Amino acid sequence: MLTVVIQAGGQSSRMGEDKALKSFLGRPLIQRVVERMKPIADEIIVTTNQPAGYEFLGLRLVPDLKPGRGALGGLYTAIASAASPLVAVAACDMPFASPEFFQGARKIVDEENADVVIARTDEGYEPLHALYRRETCLPAIESAIAADQWKVIAWFPQVKVRMLTGEEAKSFDPSGLCFWNLNTPDEFAEAERRARQSD
C-alpha cells in the first residue's frame, strides 16, 4: 500500500500567483502531478491550507496539522495523514515528479528495511520527492518538532536513511528532471517546452 501526498503549501512568492493552480500545458500544474502519480497510488492526498482552490481535484485535502512549523510541519502533516505504511511525498510544483523513482525507492525500502529513501543532489537533500515509512518517521518528526527543531531533515539521525547516489537516482529517473521545482514564469515556460518533447 502506498499513499502519495502532494504538498501544495508553498507561498509562490516568486511566481506572484499560486503556482500549483497555474496553467501548465492547458491545465493546473497540480493536476499534472496528480495524474503522473495515480498509477502507483492506493491513496492520493493534497496538503493545503486553501482547500477551496483544490476541490476540483476530487481528492482528500488536509490542512497543516502543525501550523506555523514550515516545511517540517508540512512533512509531518503529509505522513500523519496517510493511511498506508509507505508515503511518497511530492511537491505540487514538480511537473516531472516520477512514479518510476518511487517504485525504485519502494524496492529499496523492502530490500534494505530503510525508513527514508531520499536523493541528494547538488542542491542538497530532496525531501519533497522522497519515500517515507510512516511507522518510524512519524514519531521521529514529532520529537524534532517538540524539540523546536525546524530543519526538514533534523530527525534523520533517528531513522534509517538510505541516500541515493546520483547514479541510482538517474537509473530511476533517466531524464534527471524529477526534482525540478518551478519558481518563475521562465522556468514554467522551459518546463512546458521540455514536457511537450517528452510526454
Alpha-carbon Rg of the chain, whole angstroms? 16
Q: Full-prediction pTM beyond 0.85?
A: yes
Q: pLDDT (tens digit, 9 = 90+) per residue, 7-20?
A: 996 555 555 578 99
Adjacent-strand bridge partners of 117: 131, 162
Angle between helices 99-112 and 29-37 (to 10 degrees): 40
Total of domains in the chain: 1
If you average pLDDT over every residue of the chain, what do you get? 93
Q: Where are the beta strands (DSSP E) in the chain?
A: 2-7, 23-24, 27-28, 43-47, 60-62, 86-91, 116-121, 124-125, 129-133, 161-164
- C-alpha grid cell, residue 180: 525540478
pLDDT given for residue 16 in this prediction: 58
Give the percent of the chain with pLDDT over 70: 96
Q: Domain range holding 50?
A: 2-198
Give the three-state DSSP class for 124: strand
- Here the CATH number for the domain that contains residue 168 is 3.90.550.10
Answer whether residue 126 shows pLDDT above 80.
yes
pLDDT given for residue 14 in this prediction: 56
